[in-house]
Amino acid sequence: MSRIEQFQYDNRIVRAFGVAAFVFGLVGMLVGLILAIQLIFPAMNLSQYGIPYTTFGRLRPLHTNAVIFAFVGNGIFMGVYYSLQRLLKARMFSDTLSWIHFWGWQVIILAAAVSLPMGITTSSEYAELAWPIDLLITLIWVVFGINMFGTIIKRRENHLYVAIWFYIATWITVAVLHIVRSFELPYSMFGSYPLFSGVQDALVQWWYGHNAVAFFLTTPYLGMMYYFLPKAANRPVYSYKLSIIHFWALIFIYIWAGPHHLLYSSMPDWVQSLGTVFSIMLIAPSWGGMLNGLLTLRGAWDRVRQDPVLKFMVVAVTAYGMATFEGPMLSIKSVNAISHFTDWTIAHVHVGALGWNGFLTFGVLYWLWPRMYRTQLFSIKLANMHFWLGTLGIIFYAIPLYYAGWAQSLMWKEFTPEGILAWPNFLETVNQIIPMYAMRIIGGTLFFVGTILGVYNLVKTAAQGSFLSNEAAEAPAREGRIAKVAGEYWHKWIEQRPIQMLLLSAVLISIGGIAQIIPMVFIDNQVPKISTVKPYTPLELAGRDIYIREGCVGCHSQMVRPFRSETERYGEYSKSGEYIYDRPFLWGSKRTGPDLMREGTGNQNAKSDRWHYDHMIDPRTMSPGSIMPQYPHLADDELDLSLLPAKISALRTLGTPYAHGYEARAIAEAQAQARTVAGRLTEQGVKDTNMENKEIVALIAYLQRLGTDIHVNQNNQK
């Protein structure tokens, strides 16, 4: 028997991440609530007062980033730092690295909270942050990795418990995802263009976006479930074998499923089909986690009735099971044809975020706080109230949005017998679901109020206890690997070898991405070229960057799917070759407003420049009842063309065929085109002066270009 060693667990770092999780949880939820209110009261955007920072387009990424990276992110680190130390019988590798990790992460969040409302965004969902912040994220993630693996190396436990397999897979996959998604070429202090364009950018984006859900919102939380649920229930884990199979299957299959976000888009069919079939095969591995959680509670169900911690965990695991069944269903093409671009998706992700991530975080917090503060939970009654408010909140949030998604989609697709769209005005389909948006606010408010009660309860718990900064523990020193025992599971081999486990995970999670992305990037005929599609003019490029800055992509897609209901409503369906100069791609994932792919001059829905001008200043003059924010600042703010040479140069480096030396002419050409647009506006009766120097002309120039290149041949023929 080896010598017993004394050591201490670091609780302060756990508390710090825990406090950050619930503070940012409140912030993220509050921003969500504001967004929900903006959708029925556009005046809440405040942009009509010339304040550009608070529009829906700019706040939406703030909400998603706050919830994913600030709330859940800090939640992950709280859970990992607590459980890792105890499962390995070792203090964290380095307290200094722990605190660099903590403060670094909070700086990233702060940078996001400042830069996103300022309109500094790449517009790629969940990867919106500017390139310097991307670098910082990489650095901090490496710090986290060193700290985690350092702890693993100096562990006193021979075998790694299942929770740690999940932590390892999380770390390596998030690193790969983040780095590949951040392949971008800076053109200024905060601006950059992605390496890939159009269809390839879309594929990389949803490989990233989908697996951010998988490896940031799912695998680390499964790891936490494997620690905190058996602890709280005081029951053995149901099946060791099930943990092995579902872990490896989950990380291997998950990575392939990204293209289910791109069904019926211009993505080649074979990629879409891979997205579908791997999503279906994902049901069982996902449910493996749910089963192992719920079946661990066998024999403890009577306690679930009394213990708020277990209540939260049971609903969390159930929500996980529902969301991971619904996801594959949404990946079936015929279901996706209805659900995509609607509020159904929003309902789906909130079952996951509020139910699975939210409730598991609350459960863990309620379990941790009394232990770290060496006291009882301040009020079980309050915790139960939180539980019921939260549960009702999820129901009141999700059900109206499921209804809204179905209703709106069916209205989009309905035809009269004469073959005319039954609801040709997009706005009618929006106004139809406004009551559902109102009900969603009630749901969100309930959940938010519940969270406030939770915070109060935890603060009071802390106040009545005394914090244990360093928790004494003891364990025998580790004396190298244990030799194989006859009849033991083969998997015990790798459980003693963290490096091999890391490498095997890295290989397994790379296969799916490589199989999809490499052919798309290197095989030319995957994206058939269209000879008339040309790069944007400098002014259009400037306008496009304004479109990106304002977050227009949050509500407007640029992807006409090959359905009769879409080609009749918007025009010709989108071709992959039309997007080859789109850096970043702007297909969008939600249609709160209509698709804009065919908005440009010459298309069936094209509007005059004046229409766009008036509509930007106040959408309700041209579309009474519209819920779009006003953008008067675009007509007031000076158009800054100074970055154009750098942008042109960056894009040429990435492959856009701008002639050499075009940088020198770019500004003059942009100004000339701006004068033309301004001239047309004056001609059409806009009374403002000096319009050629305002941002709005660049945006109009871009909008009038959208989806027009494929018509060039037709126009030439006539």
Partner 1 sequence: MKFAKYIFTFLLLGLAATMWGQAAEPAAAAASEDQFSQIMVYILAIGGALLFIVAMIYVIKVNQFLYKRVLDLEAAKSGAKLPAEALAALAAQDSFWTTLRKKYWEDPVPLDKEEDILFHHDFDGIRELDNRLPPWWVNMFIITIIWAVGYMYYYHWGGDGPSSLEEYTTEMEQAKKEQAIALAGAANAVDESNATALTDGAALGEGELIYKNSCAVCHGPSGEGTVGPNMTDEYWIHGGGIKNVFKTIKYGVPDKGMVAWQKTLSPSDILKVGSYILTLQGTNPPNPKAPQGSIWKEEAAAASPDTTAIPPK
Q: Under rule CB under 8 A, which residues in 384-443 are in contact with partner 1?
A: 410, 413, 415-421, 424-425
Nearer to partner 1 by C-beta: 136 or 635? 635
Measured from the CB atom, the residue of 314 and 650 that comes closer to partner 1 is 314
283 lies in the binding site for partner 1 (CB under 8 A): yes
CB-nearer residue toward partner 1: 500 or 621: 621
Q: How many CB atoms lie within 10 A of CB 302?
A: 8
Q: At what angle do helices 162-181 and 240-254 cross, to 10 degrees?
A: 10
DSSP 571-582: -S---GGGGTT-
712 binds partner 1 (CB under 8 A): no
Is residue 530 within the footprint of partner 1 (CB under 8 A)?
Answer: no
Query: Which of 22, 56, 81, 161 is the binder for partner 1 (CB under 8 A)?
Result: 161
3-state secondary structure of 341: strand
618 binds partner 1 (CB under 8 A): no
Q: Name which of 50 and 299 has its Cβ closer to partner 1.
A: 299
Contacts with partner 1: how many residues (CB under 8 A)? 83
The least distance separating partner 1 from the CB of residue 76, rounded to whole angstroms, comes to 19
| CA 148 – CA 169 distance, rounded (Å) | 12
Contact between 304 and partner 1 by CB under 8 A: the answer reads no
Return the number of the residue (31 or 297) whose C-beta is nearest partner 1.
297
Q: Whose structure tokens read 């436990």? A: 157
Can residue 159 be called a binding residue for partner 1 (CB under 8 A)?
yes
Long-range contacts from 708-712, C-beta under 8 angstroms, 24+ separation: 708/600, 708/601, 708/602, 708/603, 709/530, 709/532, 709/533, 709/534, 709/578, 710/530, 710/532, 710/533, 710/572, 710/575, 710/578, 711/602, 711/603, 712/532
Q: Within 65-124, which residues bind partner 1 (CB under 8 A)?
A: 83, 86-87, 89
**Cβ atoms 50, 636 nearer than 8 A:** yes
Q: What's the longest Cα–Cα distance across the chain?
A: 92
Could you tell me the smallest distance in angstroms from the CB atom of residue 551 to partner 1?
25
Q: Which of 79, 63, 82, 81 is nearest to 24 (CA)?
A: 63
By rule CB under 8 A, what string of x and - marks binding of each residue 633-672 to partner 1?
----------------------------------------
Give the whole-angstrom CA distance, residue 290 versus residue 302.
Answer: 19
Binding track over 221-250 against partner 1, x by CB under 8 A? ------x--xx----xxxxxxxx-x---x-
Query: By CB under 8 A, what part of segment 333-362 binds partner 1?
Result: 334-335, 337-338
| 559: its two tokens | 């992807």
Half-sphere exposure of 260 (CA within 13 A, CB side): 29
Options 57, 145, 220, 285; binder of partner 1; rule CB under 8 A: 285
Q: Is 502 in the site for partner 1 (CB under 8 A)?
A: no
**601/682 with CB nearer partner 1:** 601
Interface with partner 1 (CB under 8 A), residue from 609, 692, 695, 709: 609
Judged by CB under 8 A, does residue 269 bind partner 1?
yes
Nearest residue (CB) to partner 1, 413 versus 675? 413
Q: Which is nearer to partner 1, 226 or 631 (CB)?
A: 226
Which position among 3, 305, 687, 718 is part of the footprint of partner 1 (CB under 8 A)? 718
- Under the binding rule (CB under 8 A), the answer on residue 573 touching partner 1 is yes
Among candidate residues 656, 645, 655, 647, the one with its CA nearest the CA of residue 534: 656
- Under the binding rule (CB under 8 A), the answer on residue 277 touching partner 1 is yes
With 0-12 / 13-18 / 19 or more C-beta atoms within 10 angstroms meaning exposed / middle / buried, residue 1 is exposed
Rounded to an integer, what distance in angstroms lies between the CA atom of residue 307 and that of residue 2? 39
Can you tell me which of 94, 608, 682, 693 binds partner 1, judged by CB under 8 A? 608
Q: Is 603 in the site for partner 1 (CB under 8 A)?
A: yes
Q: How far is 92 from 133, CA to CA, in rounded Å?
A: 26
From residue 701, alpha-carbon distances to 305, 598, 634, 662 in Å are 62, 14, 13, 19
